[in-house]
Amino acid sequence: MSWVVYYFCTQNGKLPVKEYVESASLTDKAKIVKSIEYLKEFGPLLRTPHSKKLAPNLFELRILGETSLRILYSPYLNGFCLLHIFQKKTQKTPEKEIKTAVDRMKTII
């Protein structure tokens, strides 16, 4: 089964995750697209090192490499909604990044 991936849309019509991906370097963009393809293919079966559960209904898609990126996502309709993306610089996922994703998740529920 193939899963659907949605991009979170702000009230003013911006797609923060999609815009980040489009502005990323070619190397980062390729890694991001590959990770999103894994999510589409494996859905809820996607596990470490590609995905990790952070909270109820909140997961992180882990893009590893020279630049470590995280896409926070949540189950949505018949797939997943990509809520927030950021560059990971610390061992633990920062609370402000989780809060951004949770706030966005609340607007789509």
Find where tokens 């797939």 sit: 79
User: What confidence tens digit (pLDDT) does each residue in 51-80 have?
Assistant: 999 999 999 999 988 889 999 999 999 999
Average pLDDT over residues 23-29: 94
* Rounded CA separation 102/37 (Å): 23
Q: Where are the domains of the chain?
A: 4-108
Return the closest-CA partner of residue 27 out of 57, 66, 62. Answer: 66
pLDDT at 1 over 80: no
Determine the distance from the C-alpha atom of residue 51 to the mean position of all C-alpha atoms in its chain, rounded to a whole number: 9
Task: Could you please state the CATH topology (level 3) that the domain comprising 4-108 is classified under.
Answer: YaeB-like fold (3.30.2310)
pTM listed for this prediction? 0.94
